[in-house]
Amino acid sequence: MAQAYLTETGSGGQGPDRRGSRLRRLGDGWRGDRGIWRRGLILAALAMILSVVMVLHAKIPNRIGNLGSLTETFLPWLGALVPVLLLLALVRKSATALIAVLLPAIVWLNLFGGLLTDKTANGGDLTVATHNVNADNPDPSGTARDVAASGADVLALEELTASAVPVYETALASTYKYHSVQGTVGLWSKYPLTFAQPVDIELGWTRAMRATVTTPAGQVAVYVAHLPSVRVKLEAGFTARQRDKSADALGEAIADEPLQRIVLLGDLNGTMNDRALNAVTAQMRSTQGAAGSGFGFSWPTSFPMARIDQIMVRGVEPVTSWTLPGTGSDHLPIAARVKMDATAS
């Protein structure tokens, strides 16, 4: 009986003793292997290169296919290489590679670890939302109902077509008393809109606008923008010249804004890490980074890989930020709740 008991719970069973013996055998195997420091040098080099790319991403030149902006657009995904390198280091039984993999892990956590914590809070004065509805949206009416259900006080829509505008106007009329459509972008509000006008972002047609929203907590300038799309081409790399030019023009318009409270809503076709958007990002805060939880990727709907739709603020305090469920668009809607800064006007 005693012998049977030992067989079931000792090294021949599935309990803690057997798991412990496996770990001991693994450790003994590594301690007795003098090659653990010589193997995996290539893996260690790859880990170092990955660390350098993440630390010095701003130094990667854009002269060749906008490689710097392309890297920065998908910068968070470089972290996915860390567990791959870790697994390979274990397979190779390389202590050198294991230690080297710690460096990119630390760098990634330093860059993006703050996004993994939940910074949402209660309160706020104004809920805003933005959605690129997609010109080919098969159900604009349903999309309008979905985004209105978010409870947003102010709603921005991008990529509006002339034929779809009446559909959105009808579907949103019961929720939003005020609205303005300028070119392919529009703004719907529960509060009065004044001074609604196009914003020239040097495209030759209107894809940006600005309006003053008078809320119970005070006035706020709301910008809606849809910057030009970018393309990744084998022969040309990351082509974004027109997007970059429009971002500079949008940044100039925001810099000249007389009101201190500003909210920017829209599809910027770029992430907060993309240096090409510095004219905008240098003077405004992302609500996702300040009050969100996670990365808040918004595109594409089928498998979100980047947050190219943005809610950014100045003179306004982000309280919470979130991504809404998908609609008939290839983008996810995003929303945020903000608190009006009493010292701004």
Asked if the structure places residue 184 within a domain, the reply is: yes
Q: Is 283 in the same domain as 334?
A: yes
308 and 286 Cβ atoms separated by less than 8 Å: no
The total of structural domains in the chain comes to: 2
How high is the pLDDT of residue 344? 65
Phi, psi of 264 (to 5 degrees): -110, 125
Give yes or no for a contact between 338 and 105, defined as CB atoms under 8 angstroms apart.
no
Same domain assignment for residues 249 and 336? yes
- Tell me if 296 is assigned to some domain: yes
Residues 108 and 255 in one domain: no
Ranges of the chain with pLDDT below 50: 1-12, 234-236
Structure confidence at residue 241 (pLDDT): 85
Determine the pLDDT at residue 239: 64
Q: Are residues 112 and 134 in the same domain?
A: no
Residue 32 is predicted with a pLDDT of 63
- Residue 182 has what pLDDT? 98
- 27 within a domain of the structure (yes/no): no
22 domain residue, yes or no: no
What integer pLDDT is reported at residue 230 of this predicted model?
83
Residue span of the structural domain in which 69 resides: 33-116
Tell me the pLDDT tens digit for each residue of 111-131: 999 999 999 889 999 999 999
If asked whether residues 314 and 282 sit together in one domain, one would say yes
284 and 172 assigned to the same domain = yes
Same domain (yes/no): 111, 158: no
Residues 6+ apart with CB under 8 A from 61: 67, 68
Last residue of a domain, one of 83, 116, 149: 116
CATH number at residue 249: 3.60.10.10
Tokens 């460096």 label which residue?
103
Residue 103 lies in a domain: yes
Residue 2 maps to a domain = no
Domain boundary among 116, 140, 175: 116
Q: Is 261 contained in some domain?
A: yes
Last residue of a domain, one of 73, 94, 116: 116
Yes or no: say if 261 and 290 are a contact pair by the CB < 8 Å rule. Answer: no
* Residue 225 and residue 259 share a domain: yes
Are 317 and 215 in the same domain? yes
Residue 36: predicted pLDDT: 87
Cβ atoms within 10 Å, residue 152: 26
In this prediction, residue 64 carries a pLDDT of: 79
Tens-digit pLDDT profile for residues 29-40:
666 677 888 899
In a domain, 24, yes or no: no
Residues 157 and 57 in one domain: no
pLDDT for 71: 93
pLDDT of residue 5: 45
SS (H, E, C) 52-74: HHHHCHHHCCCCCCCHHHHHHHC
Q: Say if residue 107 is in the same domain as residue 132.
A: no
**50 & 192 share domain:** no
Confidence (pLDDT) at 104: 98
